[in-house]
């Protein structure tokens, strides 16, 4: 657990959690910059994601990425029609990435975790 209040990785309850649990930019910043406890990763094109990685979406009219999806399966060769994701908003599981309306994607490959 990484209990830094602004850029850590912890969840005790809905009212006691780090911003990385609910904010897309906070999650991105935590994962790609984390040198301490918790998960860490690096940015990759969405077409290179693997099962367990994340895809973040940017929507039309927005300047920041606004949604994070968990990759549950990837076909070969990978493309948005066979990258299947899970998400909590509008409960989705095994949903093809290409069924979302987005203008840009970024993948985050999870390299591992630290204690």
The CA distances from residue 1 to 7, 15, 74, in Å, are 12, 17, 29
Section 53-64 average pLDDT: 96
Residue 1 clears pLDDT 90, i.e. is over it: no
Residue percentage of the chain with pLDDT more than 90: 70
- State residue 4's pLDDT score: 66
> pTM to 2 decimals?
0.88
- Report whether 67 contacts 57 (CB < 8 A): yes
């Amino acid at each position: 657990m990484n209990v830094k209040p602004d850029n850590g990785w912890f969840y005790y309850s809905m009212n006691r959690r780090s911003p990385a649990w609910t904010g897309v930019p906070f999650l991105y910043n935590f994962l790609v910059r984390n040198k301490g406890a918790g998960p860490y990763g690096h940015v990759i094109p969405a077409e290179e994601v693997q099962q367990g990685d994340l895809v973040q979406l940017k929507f039309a009219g927005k300047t920041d990425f606004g949604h994070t999806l968990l990759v549950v399966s990837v076909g070969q060769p990978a493309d948005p029609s066979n990258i299947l994701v899970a998400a909590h908003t509008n409960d989705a599981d095994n949903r093809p990435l290409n069924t979302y309306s987005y203008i840009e994607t970024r993948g985050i490959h999870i390299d591992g975790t630290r204690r």
